[in-house]
Structure 1
């Protein structure tokens, strides 16, 4: 039986984890957590006043004002998505590809999940015509589509949806009466924030969009689970907020007190946090650009990464070379590249993509692996790609892809 749960990737049905930044914890955050370590309890369900106020301030600075009565905190975005999916009911629509953790929670609740193609220029949001056709088909077959999950700054594609593509998708969803969940986990990891136009679906459709942000995207380490949700105004939002609290209560989904203390420190974005976020984004943007150059030079396809700590690569043009190594689908490709690169390279099938398509997500954090001292040097260096351990990792990656390009050229039929 083919192995489907290599270390660091998780089973196809439930993995892989989100890309890690690969860096040491910010010392100021560690100090806050340590100071609160003696607090063995947890926040009230939905978050205590201090955490909710901090979340409101975080969103207000991003143009999404909300009072505490419209905000909920939970131990990670997955618990929020479970609660929202349970509260909204009906069938779920997601882009293809999409974050690996979205669909399993709908399946857990017995809800059908339908993947919708994305436009050529980006991932994360559905093509509006494909969305309308999918909704029509699902309803014709007796389904009940109610929920669309999307992300402007996307995992796995690392793209940022342009406002026009987002507006068309949101307009199509509104025409069909869908509720939207906007996963804005990667919002603060945009590589060129001054050159990238960012709009939240909640600005376009304020009465039908719930925003979810996992603080592991930019503010907290992934092992300290905390996430926040912002509900729309009005009766729809009020009812959804109440039902989500009911589900979180049933799940016992409470943020641990020390983690809440760290979140309360990070959400107002004091200088140490903003400086670390900016340095981390710059570092990963440089590494992602170098990886993009390497894979495209070898003949693979990839949209230029615009956000996050990853990029999405299509090795379809190298299929002949990969076939000589016994690679025929995304699972084979995942195992092949994981072994060659010495780092997880989860296949596109884990993100709802076609198994037959030769696509993978590559994470930049894995290329930074080193001692704490080397990692701190990555953050402070003006030329991080020239640091020995990063340079070696990039050379290895480039060599693997260059070998595939050379193999593909040898397998090309003579003209």
Structure 2
């Protein structure tokens, strides 16, 4: 097992900067905005809370998380909620509780496959519907699961991401409904990673699997993306109010008791405040949504202008770009034949850090890359805060300069030597 591709990219950026080399950091999925002062205050106030808490989490934090989901049309009671030090360990514990093989969309966030492999299981990858992301195509999943079972494998859980990392797309209601129907027919648990839910750019109904398969959907979230609190490490899982949900929650709680004992107490108090949706934080998330959407769409336009195929981003802060239309010129001029070749050249020749699609399960020969846009929000908290509160973030001088620099570098990528 190697270091996660996203974390490795972050370390590569730090190393290049320490060596005084130019770098355009578009590889690491960190939200890139300053912490709201009220959240800092809550954490500071709770800093003295050093005792172990309940394995599932303190009552106020679980009640706040239940209210968070209930206000988003997923009725939830506090006893359905379990907290953890980030949603990542909760997902791992859930895969462990489910047992059997894991079905993933293709492409999918890097850690899903890695966690499956840590449990000794190679994931079953299923392509997403055309133009979408985060959810396997239901018909293809049905065929893949039946084929796997005929070969002696034991698929038990499918993981979906809404909206998606790496594609930045939000699966359609039609695709989510079809997935739920197929999961019920195949008796699959659905793990719905909705960590980017509050960062969907356009308002409208959110297609959570919990709405159409409530008895078998476990939903996860955290504060790391909407409030940019990745380093604080606090997340929550909502288990269905069904016998299956109760069994899964107890299994995950048992795993938690042996792995992390309890979520850090100060973080739980901050989370209890954040998940109550106070108006000041609701307004902060709205600003973040505008920043991410504005810059992601501007970055998508730059890649489209360079000749790439790009699916317009719909949520989160990622752009998925396919250099396939440029394959011949890239091969002839740069010797690029794979996604890894492409990202190596972008880094070594142009100082651009992005991740190859193969890191997310795409074919190695595919010339796809995932671009994380917060790397150009600013070099300091003051710049990032100015971008956050700006009505038109792409007009901020440092963001406009970064976009222009990216455009020039991409043009140079396919230019003659």
Tell me, yes or no, whether TM beats 0.5.
yes
Q: Separation in 1 of the partners of 2:413 and 2:323?
A: 10
**Equivalence for 2:375:** 366
Q: Separation in 2 of the partners of 1:192 and 1:175?
A: 32
Shift in alpha-carbon separation, 1:320–1:283, aligned structure 2, 3 A: same
**Equivalence for 2:399:** 390
Map of 1:33-52 to 2, 5 A cutoff?
A: 33-52=43-62
Q: TM-score, with normalisation over the residues of structure 2? A: 0.91
Of 383, 397, 408, the residue aligned with 1:399 is 408
Map of 1:242-261 to 2, 5 A cutoff?
A: 242-261=250-269
Q: Retained in 2: the 8 A contact 1:70–1:233?
A: yes
Of 363, 373, 384, the residue aligned with 1:354 is 363
Offset at residue 165 of structure 1 (A): 1.3
Offset at residue 357 of structure 1 (A): 0.5
Offset at residue 253 of structure 1 (A): 4.5
Residues 263-284 of structure 1: CA deviation (Å, up to 9, x unaligned): 1111111122111111011011
Q: Separation in 2 of the partners of 1:113 and 1:253?
A: 28
After superposing the two structures, state which structure 1 stretch, 368-377 or 142-151, moved more. 368-377
Q: Separation in 2 of the partners of 1:340 and 1:393?
A: 17
**Equivalence for 1:378:** 387
Q: TM-score, with normalisation over the residues of structure 1? A: 0.92
Offset at residue 121 of structure 1 (A): 2.2
SS at match of 1:369: coil
Of 189, 210, 226, the residue aligned with 1:202 is 210
Offset at residue 17 of structure 1 (A): 8.2
Q: Separation in 1 of the partners of 2:218 and 2:377?
A: 34
Q: Separation in 2 of the partners of 1:341 and 1:164?
A: 41
Q: Retained in 2: the 8 A contact 1:92–1:113?
A: yes
**Equivalence for 1:310:** 318
Q: Separation in 1 of the partners of 2:28 and 2:278?
A: 25
Residues 94-136 of structure 1: CA deviation (Å, up to 9, x unaligned): 0000011111111111123111011102011111121011111
**Equivalence for 1:413:** none
Q: Separation in 1 of the partners of 2:123 and 2:229?
A: 29
Shift in alpha-carbon separation, 1:344–1:272, aligned structure 2, 3 A: farther
SS at match of 1:210: strand
Shift in alpha-carbon separation, 1:339–1:277, aligned structure 2, 3 A: farther
Which runs of 5 or more structure 2 residues have no equivalent in the other structure?
13-25
Offset at residue 36 of structure 1 (A): 1.6
Residues 311-351 of structure 1: CA deviation (Å, up to 9, x unaligned): 11111111233222232211122222234554530111111
Q: Retained in 2: the 8 A contact 1:299–1:318?
A: yes
Q: Does residue 1:228 correspond to 2:236, yes or no?
A: yes
Of 266, 290, 293, the residue aligned with 2:298 is 290
Q: Separation in 1 of the partners of 2:65 and 2:173?
A: 25
Offset at residue 383 of structure 1 (A): 2.6
Q: Retained in 2: the 8 A contact 1:214–1:227?
A: yes
Q: Does residue 1:174 correspond to 2:184, yes or no?
A: yes
Q: Does residue 1:165 correspond to 2:166, yes or no?
A: no
Q: Separation in 2 of the partners of 1:76 and 1:54?
A: 16
Of 192, 199, 202, the residue aligned with 1:192 is 202
Q: Separation in 1 of the partners of 2:153 and 2:276?
A: 43
SS at match of 1:336: helix
**Equivalence for 2:79:** 69
Q: Separation in 1 of the partners of 2:11 and 2:178?
A: 34
SS at match of 2:166: coil
Q: Retained in 2: the 8 A contact 1:219–1:267?
A: no
Which runs of 5 or more structure 1 residues have no equivalent in the other structure?
411-415
Offset at residue 88 of structure 1 (A): 1.0
Q: Separation in 1 of the partners of 2:52 and 2:341?
A: 43
SS at match of 1:180: strand
Q: Does residue 1:82 correspond to 2:92, yes or no?
A: yes
Offset at residue 39 of structure 1 (A): 2.2
Q: Retained in 2: the 8 A contact 1:207–1:233?
A: yes
SS at match of 1:216: coil
SS at match of 2:29: coil
Q: Separation in 1 of the partners of 2:374 and 2:92?
A: 28
Q: Retained in 1: the 8 A contact 2:9–2:28?
A: no
SS at match of 1:356: coil
Q: Retained in 2: the 8 A contact 1:266–1:273?
A: yes
Q: Does residue 1:301 correspond to 2:317, yes or no?
A: no
Residues 164-211 of structure 1: CA deviation (Å, up to 9, x unaligned): 111112211211111110110111000112xx4312101001111111
SS at match of 2:125: strand
Q: Retained in 2: the 8 A contact 1:186–1:217?
A: yes
Q: Separation in 2 of the partners of 1:394 and 1:373?
A: 19
**Equivalence for 1:110:** 120
Q: Separation in 1 of the partners of 2:134 and 2:286?
A: 23
